[in-house]
A and B are shown apart, each in its own frame.
Chain A
């Protein structure tokens, strides 16, 4: 590695990229090698950090121009939870979903409808919302998961728009005016849920912890291995006896539930929701968070979502230029670290070698691969 960087030192971008990459890979590798107690300490510290995060001392530095606890709930908390959900679909199963906002919307609308029209309890509706989005994941997935790659992306994009436009044109759920007076969650352990964002923030933290545990367990199970095989080579996975269609549907199912959970919690905080709250750009932003952080690696995805949510707010002092600066920051980060800030270990190696990419692409199209021929001479010896 060192010898390599010396020979390529001509390009400053390349050498800087290597330095950044070396640093974050080092962190990840050290983490992977850490003993159990060290990891548990690490998890405990992270949760402790999330708990003290709303403190004004931290806020004055993180968001001098806005109300920090509000930001922590939305967009930061919601983006993190959405990104963890989208990571199941994109990062683990390798399905490009450009309409993830649809599940967020369905979760939010379920909360709004059952809360305002039927006056159901928050917790009951939360479960219904998760159930509804899971069903919608199946409804979207069953006809579309036979498509691959770009085609799937286009169809999911369409689904996101269909949900938003249907909401806009359905009078029962308020049409373009949306739904107002969504009830807050009931008081829990003596904590009142009202206008203060803090209780909602802690509710989201609890949801993130729970969802991350579930996602991590899934990743290490037979299901996770099947997703990984599908992501790397769908035909080969089928040949290994993996029911690829069923597992792709399961990824949509799980991802949709997490999206719906986020939407439902969010709706109970903001009181009023409208169709324009669920634009395509939100799907794209969450996808950017997943890719930026390191698709397939949960810590990376969480960091990516945090940055994508926080940076535009941090730059609020620049007024009209803040989105420009945010865009520049995204471009810079992707230029320095194209595989994501903290990529999954295997993904890094796969993408790090252009030759293999070419080989994989040729395999998919049924063409002949010539990559690796040079290496055969070595084997023959």
Chain B
């Protein structure tokens, strides 16, 4: 497995946000983590990318233990993240944001930029616009494009559909699928379970800091409990 998370516990002060989460992400997969607000999805991602430290448990990437590696070094081993709420640098242009994504690399980025602009033609049109003046959807594109600029082996996406118009949501999801087709492993955190399960290979359901279910995504789409809790219940069948 590319990414192996074993029984991680994470605390915010005295509050235990993750109470022993274990999950695996294999090379080439799209794995999605679904669950309600406060279930611990974002905390899980932040712990993988090193923004939060864990109390116990372990995270292994590519066979190496990275549990204690500082966040900025995890970029070097191949973890890229598009953070919750997009985290675009508001005062930098689109181009500068993308180049920030390649901060740890040196050399010629023109090929990588071309690839990002191919995925998001909109960004090519707006290269010189300031990140902070763009719409939510465009900022999401910048955040994903920026994460790709570090050439990650696994791309962590935190709620890419949050706050976007429905039409744009499906566009973002098809781009995520395309990124995966081009060879990048994806770990996707989503509240929009329906869409996430449709593009993912496997899924984990998180509830109050624990994994309560893990299965191939297609199975969860038909799972009555999951339908009830996350997919709008019986209404979805009409």
Q: Which residue of B lies closest to A381 (CB)?
A: B167
Once bound together, how far apart are the Cα atoms of A346 and B167, in whole Å? Answer: 31
Chain A interface residue count, CB cutoff 8 Å, equals 42
Q: Does B162 contact A (CB under 8 A)?
A: yes
Q: Does A169 contact B (CB under 8 A)?
A: no
What residues of chain A lie closer than 8 Å to B51, measured between beta carbons? 235, 238-239
Q: Does B124 contact A (CB under 8 A)?
A: no
Q: Which residue of A lies closest to B149 (CB)?
A: A240
What residues of chain B lie closer than 8 Å to A363, measured between beta carbons? 83-87
What residues of chain B lie closer than 8 Å to A377, measured between beta carbons? 165
What residues of chain B lie closer than 8 Å to A242, measured between beta carbons? 72, 103
| Contact mask for chain A residues 232-251; partner B; CB cutoff 8 A; 1 contact, 0 none | 11011111111110000000
Q: Which residue of A lies closest to B162 (CB)?
A: A368
Once bound together, how far apart are the Cα atoms of A376 and B162, in whole Å? Answer: 12
| Contact mask for chain A residues 349-381; partner B; CB cutoff 8 A; 1 contact, 0 none | 110010010011011001111111111111110
Question: Beyond A239-B81, A380-B165, is A353–B133 a contact (Cβ under 8 Å)?
Answer: yes
Q: Does B8 contact A (CB under 8 A)?
A: no
| Contact mask for chain B residues 134-164; partner A; CB cutoff 8 A; 1 contact, 0 none | 1111110000001100100000000000111
Q: Does B206 contact A (CB under 8 A)?
A: no
Complex partner residue of A350 from B76, B86, B130, CB under 8 angstroms:
B130
Query: How far is the CB of B44 from the nearest CB of chain A, in Å?
Result: 14
What residues of chain B lie closer than 8 Å to A28, measured between beta carbons? none
Query: How far is the CB of B103 from the nearest CB of chain A, in Å?
Result: 5
Q: Does B104 contact A (CB under 8 A)?
A: yes
Binds A, one of B24-32, B89-97, B217-225: B89-97
Once bound together, how far apart are the Cα atoms of A360 and B204, in whole Å? Answer: 30
Q: Does B184 contact A (CB under 8 A)?
A: no
Say yes or no: B136 contacts A369, CB within 8 Å: yes
What residues of chain A lie closer than 8 Å to B50, measured between beta carbons? 238
Q: Does A228 contact B (CB under 8 A)?
A: yes
Say yes or no: B75 contacts A239, CB within 8 Å: yes
Question: Beyond A242-B103, A356-B132, is A350–B75 a contact (Cβ under 8 Å)?
Answer: no
Complex partner residue of B163 from A233, A237, A370, CB under 8 angstroms:
A370
What residues of chain A lie closer than 8 Å to B83, measured between beta carbons? 235-236, 239, 363
Say yes or no: B163 contacts A241, CB within 8 Å: no
Q: Does A225 contact B (CB under 8 A)?
A: yes
Q: Does B180 contact A (CB under 8 A)?
A: no
B contact residues, range: 35 or more
Q: Does A76 contact B (CB under 8 A)?
A: no
Query: How far is the CB of B100 from the nearest CB of chain A, in Å?
Result: 5
Complex partner residue of A346 from B80, B100, B130, B146, CB under 8 angstroms:
B130
Query: How far is the CB of B163 from the nearest CB of chain A, in Å?
Result: 6
Once bound together, how far apart are the Cα atoms of A369 and B100, in whole Å? Answer: 23
What residues of chain A lie closer than 8 Å to B213, measured between beta carbons? none
Question: Beyond A349-B133, A363-B84, A379-B137, is A239–B91 a contact (Cβ under 8 Å)?
Answer: no
What residues of chain A lie closer than 8 Å to B73, measured between beta carbons? 241
Q: Does A347 contact B (CB under 8 A)?
A: yes
Q: Does A336 contact B (CB under 8 A)?
A: no
Once bound together, how far apart are the Cα atoms of A378 and B87, in whole Å? Answer: 21
Say yes or no: A240 contacts B92, CB within 8 Å: no
What residues of chain B lie closer than 8 Å to A341, measured between beta carbons? none
Say yes or no: B92 contacts A232, CB within 8 Å: yes
Say yes or no: B100 contacts A229, CB within 8 Å: yes
Say yes or no: B87 contacts A375, CB within 8 Å: no
B residues near A (Cβ < 8 Å) are 42, 49-51, 70-73, 75-76, 80-81, 83-92, 100-101, 103-104, 122, 130, 132-139, 146-147, 150, 162-165, 167-168, 171
17 A-B contacts (beta carbon < 8 Å): A228-B89, A229-B92, A229-B100, A229-B103, A236-B88, A239-B49, A239-B87, A240-B104, A240-B146, A240-B150, A241-B72, A346-B91, A350-B91, A350-B132, A362-B85, A363-B85, A370-B163
Question: Lowest 6 CB-CB distances: which A-B pairs, in order?
Answer: A375-B135, A372-B136, A346-B91, A241-B75, A241-B104, A363-B85
Other contacts beyond A240-B104, A372-B134: 18, CB < 8 A:
A228-B91, A229-B89, A229-B103, A233-B89, A239-B80, A239-B83, A241-B104, A347-B91, A349-B91, A349-B132, A353-B132, A356-B90, A369-B85, A371-B136, A378-B135, A379-B137, A379-B165, A380-B165
